[in-house]
C-alpha cells in the first residue's frame, strides 16, 4: 500500500491563516448571542485576610444591573475539593472563587457584577464597597525558603529528582577544577495576546454552550460538569482559536467559573472577560533559586554535579516542575545529587509556562557549564562533548534517537564559532562589546492518548476531527497535511475540526505532545478509512482491483490504483457509489507504547549560539544573532515548525533580558501588571534568528517519528545569551533577567 507523497515534511501555509488575518476567526469573547449579559470581576486589594463586608446596594440600584455575586449569595455549588480538580491540577486544594470570606492572594476575585451592558457592569462595579480584615502576608522567596519542604505528593507527570549516586560532596571537594554559584530566575507572566474570556450561552433547554479561551475544551467541560453537577451532555465547550496561551490555558481560569455560575443563576447568557491587570492574578512561571556546584578534572571530565532548587508555590496547592533532573540527563557523571523543594507564598498557584522546569533548570545548568569551561580553559562545545552521554542515566535507558552532536557541529558552522576569541572583552565594534555564547537545549518528546475521526463524503471532501487545540502552533495545518497525504487527497479537500468538547477525546494541548498524539490519531483514522475504501473498490462489479491486495494499492488524487499498473484504478466516489454509501467514517487512536517507553527515553535536543552587543557605557544589550540547531525527529511542516522555534527564541530573549513580574512585598501585589511596565521583546529587539533542523531518524516514539517543537526553542536560549554577555563584558550575571542595572553595577 502506498499513498500520495510530498505533503508531510514540506513547508505549507497555515490553513487557518486567511481566517485569522481577515478577522473571520472568532475568539472566546467574540461569539455573540441574543440577550447577552456582561460580567465584571471585582478583585481583592489585599494579599491575605478576610472580607469584613461587601456593600453592593449602590451597584444594584443602577438600572440594568442584574445581580452582584459574592461569597454571601452565590449558589451552593462546588463544596468539595475533588469537584474543582482539573486535568492538570497539582496536589492540594484548588482555589474556589467566591467560596468564603477568606482572601488568599492579591487580585483574588471577590465579586462579579452582571448587567445588561458592559458599560453598565463596569460602572456598577466601581460602586461596590469591600472592607477587609488584613492579615500578614508573605510573598518573599528569600524569607519563605527558610521553611522550604519536599512536596509530600508527586504531581502527575512530573518526576521527582532521582536518588543520589556516588559521593557528590566528596568528589566535589577533591575536584581540581570547580565552580559554584547561585542562580535566580524571576517570576514571569505569560501575557498572551488574547485575555481570558468565557461566553456562556444559556440554551432554552438549560444546557450550556461555552466559548472559552482554553488549551483543552474537554478539560473545561469536565471542570464545569463536576463543579456545577451537570452531565457532560449538558455542557459543550468550543474553542476553535486561541490567541496564545503558553501553558496558562491548561487549567480553567476563574472567569469560566464565574460566567457559568451567573448564567445558571440568571438563566441568561453571560460573558466575562478579564482585564490585562487581572491577567496578572493568574498563574505564572514561578520564581526559583538554584545552587549548582560542578567539579571536574583539568580536561573537563565532570566528577561531581550538585544541583539544588527551591521554587515558589501557593499556600493551597503544591505546584511542581522538573527543574534539577536535566542536570543528570544532559551530561555523564558518576557523582550526582539533585534536590528540589517548595516554598509557600501568598500568591495564586504558579502554572506551566513554555518548557516548564527545563527553561528554568537548564538555564542555570548551562550557565554553570559555561563557567566551568572558562575555569578549565576549555572551549564550551568541547566541554559538552567531553561529557556527552548516549543514555538517560537516571533511568538507565537508551535514547530513542539523539543527534545533539550534529546540532553542535552544524550550529557552530553556521554561526562561525571557530572564529571566536575565547578571551572575555576581546571582541568589540565601536563603542559596543561583542560576545559569543552557546548552550544546550533539551525537552521531552512525549505522547498522550488521543482519538480522532475521519469522514469522507462522496463528493471527495474529507473531514478529520479531534478535540485538541491550536494555540497558534499550526495544529490545523499539520493535521490537514497528515490527513491529505494519508488518504491521497489535496489539502484543499480536507477540513480539520478541533477545539470542541463534542469531538473525539484529546488531552489538553501542552507539553509539545500534540503533533505526535493528535497527528498519529488522525493518521490511524485515515488508514482505517483507506481500508474501508479499498474493500468497497474490490467489491465493485468487474473491479480492476478485485484480485489485488491492500499492500499493492496506491492512494493518490482521490483514487486507488495498483502501484505497478496506474491504469487499474477506481475513484473514491465510484467505490462509494457502488457500495451504496454516501460517506465512509473511521476512528483512530494513539498513545505511547508501554514497551518502548520502558526501554527508551525520548527527547528533543538543540544547540543555541548567540551573539550580543553591549554598549560599554550604557549597558544596553542587543541580541544581534541567534542560531538554533534543533534535532526533533520528523519535521511535519518546516514553515510552521520554524515559527515555533523562532517564537521560543523570542521567549528566551525576553527571559534573558526583559521579563520580570515584580512583587511589592509590602503589598503582596505584582506592580508592573500591564504591557507598559512588564517588558516583553518587541520587533525592535529582534534581529537575526536562524533555525536549523538537524536530520534525525526516529522510529520508536510513534509511527511518524514526530517530536514536538513548541517548547525546545526557549530551552537554553537565555543561558546562551547570558554566556555571550559574559564573553562580551567579563561580568558573570547569575540573575535573570540580565538588566542594564546589573551590568552597570
Question: What pLDDT, on the 0 to 100 scale, is given for residue 300?
Answer: 98
Angle (CA) 441 343 742, round 5°: 55
Lowest mean pLDDT among 17-21, 292-296, 392-396, 484-488: 392-396
* pLDDT band at residue 321 using 50, 70 and 90 as cut-offs: very high
Q: What residues does 589 pair with on adjacent strands?
A: 451
Reading the block at residue 500, the C-alpha cell is 470542541
Question: What pLDDT, on the 0 to 100 scale, is given for residue 81?
Answer: 67
Burial of residue 535, with CB atoms counted within 10 A of its CB: 0-12 exposed, 13-18 middle, 19 or more buried: middle
Residues assigned a catalytic role: 711
In three-state secondary structure terms, 279 is helix
- 536-545 pLDDT tens trace: 999 999 999 9
pLDDT of residue 336 exceeding 60: yes
Backbone angles phi and psi of 352, in degrees to 5: -60, 135
b/e sequence 677-691, b meaning 16+ C-beta within 10 Å: ebbebeeebbeebbb
pTM: 0.97
Distance between CA atoms of residues 238 and 30, nearest Å? 12
- 92-114 pLDDT tens trace: 999 999 999 999 999 999 999 99
Q: What residues does 185 pair with on adjacent strands?
A: 288, 736
Question: What pLDDT, on the 0 to 100 scale, is given for residue 78?
Answer: 52
Question: What pLDDT, on the 0 to 100 scale, is given for residue 1?
Answer: 47
**H or E stretch including 670?**
strand 669-670
- 445-473 pLDDT tens trace: 999 999 999 999 999 999 999 999 999 99
pLDDT of residue 729 exceeding 50: yes
Q: What is the mean pLDDT of the chain?
A: 96
How much is the average pLDDT of 67-76?
93
Beta carbons of 248 and 283 less than 8 angstroms apart: yes
How much is the average pLDDT of 326-351?
97
Lowest mean pLDDT among 82-91, 163-172, 356-365, 380-389: 82-91
Q: What residues does 182 pair with on adjacent strands?
A: 291
* pLDDT band at residue 84 using 50, 70 and 90 as cut-offs: confident
Among 738, 630, 632, 621, smallest CA distance to 690 is for: 630
Beta carbons of 672 and 678 less than 8 angstroms apart: yes
Question: What pLDDT, on the 0 to 100 scale, is given for residue 2?
Answer: 47
Place of cell 481560569: 253
Distance between CA atoms of residues 272 and 215, nearest Å? 18
- 417-440 pLDDT tens trace: 999 999 999 999 999 999 999 999
- 220-236 pLDDT tens trace: 999 999 999 999 999 99
Distance between CA atoms of residues 521 and 515, nearest Å? 10
Which DSSP string corresponds to 208-233?
EEEEE--S-HHHHHHHHHHHHT--GG
Question: What pLDDT, on the 0 to 100 scale, is given for residue 80?
Answer: 59
* pLDDT band at residue 77 using 50, 70 and 90 as cut-offs: low
Beta carbons of 108 and 253 less than 8 angstroms apart: no
How much is the average pLDDT of 683-691?
97
The structural domains of the chain, ordered by start, are 2-7+447-591 (3.30.365.10), 31-136+193-245+249-279 (3.90.1170.50), 146-188+284-446+598-744 (3.30.365.10)
Distance between CA atoms of residues 654 and 673, nearest Å? 16
Amino acid at each position: 500500500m502506498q499513498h500520495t507523497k510530498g505533503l508531510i515534511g514540506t513547508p505549507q501555509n497555515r490553513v487557518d491563516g486567511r481566517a485569522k488575518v481577515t478577522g473571520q476567526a472568532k475568539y472566546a469573547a467574540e461569539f455573540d448571542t441574543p440577550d447577552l449579559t456582561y460580567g465584571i470581576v471585582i478583585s481583592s486589594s489585599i494579599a491575605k485576610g478576610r472580607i469584613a463586608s461587601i456593600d453592593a446596594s449602590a451597584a444594584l440600584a443602577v438600572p440594568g444591573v442584574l445581580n452582584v455575586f459574592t461569597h454571601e449569595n452565590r449558589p451552593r455549588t462546588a463544596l468539595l475539593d475533588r469537584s474543582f480538580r482539573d486535568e492538570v491540577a497539582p496536589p492540594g486544594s484548588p482555589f474556589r472563587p467566591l467560596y468564603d470570606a477568606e482572601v488568599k492572594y492579591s487580585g483574588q476575585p471577590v465579586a462579579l457584577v452582571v448587567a445588561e451592558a458592559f458599560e453598565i457592569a463596569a460602572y456598577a462595579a466601581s460602586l461596590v464597597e469591600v472592607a477587609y480584615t488584613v492579615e500578614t502576608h508573605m510573598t518573599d522567596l528569600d524569607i519563605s525558603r527558610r521553611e522550604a519542604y519536599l512536596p509530600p505528593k508527586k504531581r502527575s507527570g512530573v518526576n521527582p529528582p532521582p536518588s543520589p549516586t556516588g559521593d557528590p560532596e566528596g568528589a566535589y571537594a577533591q575536584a581540581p577544577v570547580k565552580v559554584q554559584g547561585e542562580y535566580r530566575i524571576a517570576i514571569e507572566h505569560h501575557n498572551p495576546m488574547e485575555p481570558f474570556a468565557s461566553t456562556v450561552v444559556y440554551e432554552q433547554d438549560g444546557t450550556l454552550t461555552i466559548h472559552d479561551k482554553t488549551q483543552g475544551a474537554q478539560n473545561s467541560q469536565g471542570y464545569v460538569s463536576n463543579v456545577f453537577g451537570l452531565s457532560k451532555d449538558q455542557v459543550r465547550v468550543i474553542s476553535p482559536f486561541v490567541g496564545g496561551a503558553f501553558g496558562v490555558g491548561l487549567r480553567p481560569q476563574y472567569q469560566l467559573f464565574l460566567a457559568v455560575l451567573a448564567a445558571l443563576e440568571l438563566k441568561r447568557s453571560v460573558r466575562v472577560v478579564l482585564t490585562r491587570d487581572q491577567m496578572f492574578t493568574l498563574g505564572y512561571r514561578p520564581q526559583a533559586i538554584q545552587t549548582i556546584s560542578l567539579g571536574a578534572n583539568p580536561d573537563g571530565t565532570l566528577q561531581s554535579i550538585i544541583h539544588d532548587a527551591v521554587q515558589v508555590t501557593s499556600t493551597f496547592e503544591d505546584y511542581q516542575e522538573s527543574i534539577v533532573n536535566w542536570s543528570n540527563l544532559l551530561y555523564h557523571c558518576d557523582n550526582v545529587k539533585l534536590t528540589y523543594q517548595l516554598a509557600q507564598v501568598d500568591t495564586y498557584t504558579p502554572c506551566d509556562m513554555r518548557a516548564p522546569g527545563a527553561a528554568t533548570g537548564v538555564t542555570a545548568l548551562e550557565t554553570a557549564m559555561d563557567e566551568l569551561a572558562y575555569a578549565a580553559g576549555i572551549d564550551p562545545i568541547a566541554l559538552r562533548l567531553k561529557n556527552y552521554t548516549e543514555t538517560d542515566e537516571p533511568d538507565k535507558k537508551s535514547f530513542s534517537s539523539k543527534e545533539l552532536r550534529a546540532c553542535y557541529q552544524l550550529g557552530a558552522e553556521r554561526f562561525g564559532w571557530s572564529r571566536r576569541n575565547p578571551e572575555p572583552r576581546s571582541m568589540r565594534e565601536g563603542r559596543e562589546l561583542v560576545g559569543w555564547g552557546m548552550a544546550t537545549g533539551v525537552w521531552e518528546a512525549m505522547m498522550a492518548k488521543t482519538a480522532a475521526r475521519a469522514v469522507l463524503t462522496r463528493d471527495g471532501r474529507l473531514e478529520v476531527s479531534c478535540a485538541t487545540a491550536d494555540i497558534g502552533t499550526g495544529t490545523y495545518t499539520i493535521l490537514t497535511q497528515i490527513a491529505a497525504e494519508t488518504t491521497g487527497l489535496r489539502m484543499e479537500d480536507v477540513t480539520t475540526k478541533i477545539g470542541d468538547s463534542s469531538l473525539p477525546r484529546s488531552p489538553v494541548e501542552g507539553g509539545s505532545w500534540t503533533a505526535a498524539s493528535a497527528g498519529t490519531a488522525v493518521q490511524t483514522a485515515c488508514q482505517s478509512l483507506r481500508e474501508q475504501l479499498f474493500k468497497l473498490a474490490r467489491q465493485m462489479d468487474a473491479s480492476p482491483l478485485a484480485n489485488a491486495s491492500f499492500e499493492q494499492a496506491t492512494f493518490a488524487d482521490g483514487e486507488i490504483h495498483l502501484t505497478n499498473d496506474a491504469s487499474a484504478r477506481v475513484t473514491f466516489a465510484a467505490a462509494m457509489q457502488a457500495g451504496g454509501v454516501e460517506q465512509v467514517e473511521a476512528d483512530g487512536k494513539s498513545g505511547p507504547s508501554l514497551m518502548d517507553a520502558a526501554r527508551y527515553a525520548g527527547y528533543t535536543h538543540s544547540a543555541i549560539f548567540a551573539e550580543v552587543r553591549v554598549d560599554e557605557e550604557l549597558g544596553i544589550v542587543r541580541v544581534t544573532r541567534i542560531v538554533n540547531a534543533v534535532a526533533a525527529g520528523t519535521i511535519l511542516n518546516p514553515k510552521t515548525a520554524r515559527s515555533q522555534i523562532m517564537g521560543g527564541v523570542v521567549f528566551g530573549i525576553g527571559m534573558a533580558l526583559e521579563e520580570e513580574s515584580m512583587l511589592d512585598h509590602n503589598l503582596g501585589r505584582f506592580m508592573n501588571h500591564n504591557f507598559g511596565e512588564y517588558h516583553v521583546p518587541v520587533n525592535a529587539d529582534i534581529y537575526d534568528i536562524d533555525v536549523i533542523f538537524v536530520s534525525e531518524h526516529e522510529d520508536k516514539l510513534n509511527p511518524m517519528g514526530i517530536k514536538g517543537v513548541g517548547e525546545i526553542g526557549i530551552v537554553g536560549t537565555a543561558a546562551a545569551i547570558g554566556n555571550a554577555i559574559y564573553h562580551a563584558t567579563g561580568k558573570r550575571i547569575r540573575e535573570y533577567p540580565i538588566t542594564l542595572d546589573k551590568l552597570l553595577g
